[in-house]
Amino acid sequence: MSDFKYSFIAGTMGQLGDRYLRTGYKSQVLSPVEVMDRMASYGVVDGVELHCRGTETEEDLQALAEALARNKLGVSCVNTWLYGQIKWSRGSVTASDLVTRKEAISAVMASIDYARRLKTNYVSLWMGQDGFDYAFQTDYNAQWGYMIEALRLFADYAPDMKIAIEPKPGEPRNRLLVDTVSTALLMCMEADRSNLGLTVDIGHTMYAGQSMAQALSISTRYEKLFNVHVNDNYS
């Protein structure tokens, strides 16, 4: 019996569009509950990753809880939805606008509360709109400071939960603030909270031109490897 536990991200099993067909290519789209039922039937997964206010909403909570119990699945992680809405186009927790930052912080707090209700102790943040596109577009030092401040707020709000950040070098912003495993580790060290760590995405690591093995090894060295997304990002 493997010591590892495997889960899937429910949102990736739904409708996925691209710049050529934004509505996606599937004529029939399964609901999150239907996705859980189907994936559980294969007998290869232990849990599921969800998105609070993304592909799954707070209104779905009861139906999701019933599907989890029926299929004997746990919630491995709740991801935040800080990238798929126009209001985050200039950043979320690191936006220069104070009102936007406060709204983003509230959204993460709601994700933490949502995770508690689903009986998981893990929340992951991929902040795809927090970064920049051009040189001198932002105050880099202030942006970094906003990130550290936000991470401390989240960690202190839920000291009994794991809060992870997921690095990716770019896209949708040309350059993301949390771009590499090394950057994410540095942020965790500066924030200085034991419950802060990393979600290491293999595809993002390859996209950054880094060694997958080294990224995982260094994250483990500092006891910050909380989760691994296994993919290639080729499609």
Q: Please check the confidence at residue 99 and state whether its pLDDT lies above 70.
A: yes
pLDDT confidence of 57, banded at 50, 70, 90?
Answer: low
The mean pLDDT of the chain is 93
State residue 1's pLDDT score.
Answer: 45
pLDDT confidence of 70, banded at 50, 70, 90?
Answer: very high
Q: Give the count of domains, the chain.
A: 1
Average pLDDT in the 41-51 region? 94
Token representation of residue 53: 């206010």
Average pLDDT in the 26-37 region? 89
- Identify any residues that bridge with 226 across adjacent strands, giving them in sequence order: none
Q: Is residue 71 part of a domain?
A: yes
Q: Is residue 160 part of a domain?
A: yes
State residue 59's pLDDT score.
Answer: 65
As a whole-number percent, the residues of the chain with pLDDT over 70 amount to: 96
Q: Is residue 144 part of a domain?
A: yes
Domain with 207, as residue range(s), is 7-229
Q: Is residue 1 part of a domain?
A: no
Query: What are the tens digits of pLDDT across the range 144-161?
Result: 999 999 999 999 999 999
Q: Is residue 225 part of a domain?
A: yes
Mapping DSSP onto H, E and C, the string for the chain reads: CCCCCCEEEHHHHCCCCCCCCCCCCCCCCCCHHHHHHHHHHCCCCCEEEEEECCCECHHHHHHHHHHHHHHCCEEEEEECCCCCCHHHCCCCCCCCCHHHHHHHHHHHHHHHHHHHHCCCCEEEECCCCCEECCCCCCCHHHHHHHHHHHHHHHHHHCCCCEEEECCCCCCCCCEECCCCHHHHHHHHHHHCCCCEEEEEEHHHHHHCCCCHHHHHHHHHHCCCEEEEECCCCCC
In this structure, what CATH number is given to the domain that contains residue 28?
Answer: 3.20.20.150
Q: Is residue 43 part of a domain?
A: yes
Q: Please check the confidence at residue 35 and state whether its pLDDT lies above 50.
A: yes
Distance of CA 184 to the CA centre of its chain: 13
As a whole-number percent, the residues of the chain with pLDDT over 90 amount to: 81
Average pLDDT in the 86-102 region? 97
Average pLDDT in the 122-134 region? 97
State residue 219's pLDDT score.
Answer: 98
State residue 42's pLDDT score.
Answer: 94
Instruction: Report how far apart, in Å, the C-alpha atoms of 117 and of each of 94, 107, 111, 224 are.
Output: 27, 15, 10, 25
Q: Please check the confidence at residue 74 and state whether its pLDDT lies above 70.
A: yes
Alpha-carbon distance of 211 to 208, in angstroms, equals 9
- What pTM, to 2 d.p., does this model score? 0.93
Alpha-carbon distance of 147 to 196, in angstroms, equals 13
Average pLDDT in the 176-198 region? 99
pLDDT confidence of 13, banded at 50, 70, 90?
Answer: confident
State residue 194's pLDDT score.
Answer: 98
Q: Is residue 2 part of a domain?
A: no
Average pLDDT in the 7-36 region? 87
Alpha-carbon distance of 233 to 235, in angstroms, equals 5
Q: Is residue 114 part of a domain?
A: yes
